[in-house]
A and B are shown apart, each in its own frame.
Chain A
């Protein structure tokens, strides 16, 4: 905090009023409501609700569909984070190295950041379309009978590809800025001691980049779990029946389509716990890095 501060009886409250109003109305209230209704069974015709304790949680945790979605979310998150991070790291290392055309490469790679996940989903659905998709034709040439939208695993594959594509630019930006903040002196000293640039990368650059990488791992997990909603929604073409869906999608589908408010709220609460854990990990890390600096 600042050494010098203003003292006023009312000014800080006036300044905080808009933010606090919005937080209370559109954050605290809904979040509290989600937790409350996770313990209630809502009448499907709107005639009140009954307290059922932990029944909603027991129901979702014994529902094979929920486990299927949870398993898919875990695998999807892992694959998206792994490939989005490693491919963007490769590109960032190369972009950090070249001088000629560096700005052009950078621009060409980062502009995809502005593509919304549902648009990515739409373009992905077209590229992997059973009739017109070039990727489907290519897969057929290799003897892979790819049926995105019909076959569970093919759809999952297409979703991972599209999500990784969408996530590369932001990772690239962070990795590049991380690489550029490594002091030149360190790199020069390393290049005197070690001739192999491959070995130099893994023993000097990579460890120095680890703090950035860890922060980005959290960002990528959050992206794959939550921000891909639009992508999943569009790529399953509103027919989630036999297609892979993520947990966030299931919260929406069960709550709005299935009208199962209690079950959907219980799923929300489970996700809240996951996000809570992720955020704590992130905060602890941020503190450590501030300390480190």
Chain B
């Protein structure tokens, strides 16, 4: 049989160290004074500036206007992550239900129209998308940040595959009992989909939270900055400034941007893996 050697463990330990190392160093560095970091490089011990640095990043400084705090940015990221995940799930469940369970004219055309969105990522149509959102006056708004991101049909594809695997007998039985399309959807299909919904929710929440390019274009008003968007702001202050860059604050912000999605992935690991490995089918 397969014998597990010490080498197998060593490779895995090395892998884990390489994966964790950069974030651990980032966290440790964020607890030191920026002058110390400037003098002696990134830090590998826990420093004494943890509370003041994080307090400053969360509640005081930020941006050019000095009005936006880390907490505001975290809140905006949360709205983006939740709004995107929930919006996408609701819309794609409805669309997939129509595609799988109804016979109607133009069904094939609708199917191809929706799935053509899988062909072009937002990045390659970024400028015209920006102009469209601008025409609707949605710059600097949550709707402008969230809704265009929902246009891709990954979720619809995911639920379509799942609905197709639901046994036909369920619908037959429900119809004999006199259930209409809405009753069947709400009372039977939605409860059956909870695992799929949770799996997709985790993936989409992390995806929404981590968006960078789109929120960067959408928001010029700092009150709508997400925390990932805030990273760019840090760099602009950095590049322009002559004084010692606030390395500790930059690292603290990076850590704050990472902690919520990481917690979601770790806590809901099983669903998350299920979502990823099921959705590729």
Question: A interface vs B, CB < 8 Å?
Answer: 1-8, 11-13, 15-16, 18-20, 22-23, 25-31, 33-34, 37, 87, 90-91, 94-95, 97-101, 105-119, 121-124, 126-127, 131-134, 137, 165, 168-170, 173-174, 177, 187-188, 191, 197, 215, 222, 226, 229-230, 233-234, 237-239, 248, 251-252, 255-256, 261, 264-265, 268, 271-272, 275-276, 279, 286, 290
Contacts and interface: CB of A to CB of B under 8 A. Distances in A.
Contacts of A239: 239
B192 interface: no
Given A94-B8, A117-B210, A15 B119 contact: no
B117 interface: yes
B127 A34 contact: yes
Interface string B130-164: 01110000000000000110111100100000001
A268 B247 contact: no
B237 to A, nearest CB: 11
Nearest to B226: A116
Interface of B: 1-2, 4, 8-9, 11-13, 15-16, 18-20, 22-23, 25-26, 29, 37-38, 41-42, 90-92, 94-95, 97-104, 107, 110, 113-114, 116-121, 123-129, 131-133, 147-148, 150-153, 156, 164, 168, 171-172, 175, 181-182, 206, 209-213, 217, 228, 231-232, 234-236, 238-239, 247, 250-251, 254, 257-258, 261-262, 264-266, 269, 273, 276-277, 280-281
Contact of B125 (A11, A31, A131, A233): A31
Contacts of B129: 26, 30
Nearest to A121: B231
A119 B37 contact: no
Nearest to B8: A94
B262 A111 contact: yes
B41 A137 contact: yes
Nearest to B133: A26
Most chain A beta carbons < 10 A, residue from B209, B251, B277 = B277
B125 A268 contact: yes
B254 A33 contact: no
A4 B213 contact: no
Contacts of B12: 91, 94-95, 98, 101, 105
A188 to B, nearest CB: 8
A106 B15 CA distance: 10
A253 to B, nearest CB: 11
A11 to B, nearest CB: 5
Given A2-B168, A22-B147, A234-B231, A99 B4 contact: yes
A118 B128 contact: no
Contacts of A133: 41-42
B113 A234 contact: no
A94 B148 CA distance: 41
A34 B113 contact: no
Which has the most chain A C-beta neighbours within 10 Å: B102, B123, B182? Answer: B123
Contacts of A116: 209-212, 228, 257-258, 261
B264 A114 contact: yes
A118 B232 contact: yes
Q: Is the interface of A mostly helix, strand, loop or mixed?
A: helix
A115 B23 contact: yes
A20 B269 contact: no
A91 B121 CA distance: 30
A233 B119 contact: no
B250 A19 contact: no
Contacts of B265: 110-111, 113-114
A275 B212 contact: no
A217 to B, nearest CB: 13
B127 A265 contact: yes
Given A16-B94, A16-B98, A131-B38, A26 B254 contact: no
A66 to B, nearest CB: 15
Contacts of A252: 123, 126-127, 213
A97 B41 contact: no
Contacts of B92: 19
Given A20-B110, A119-B228, A238-B235, A1 B4 contact: no
Nearest to A235: B235
Q: Return the 9 tightest CB-CB contacts between A and B, nearest first.
A: A116-B210, A33-B128, A114-B261, A30-B128, A230-B212, A15-B98, A12-B102, A19-B95, A108-B16
Given A111-B262, A252-B213, A23 B18 contact: no
Given A248-B123, A252-B126, A265-B127, A6 B100 contact: no
A80 to B, nearest CB: 16
B232 A268 contact: no
Contacts of B175: 4
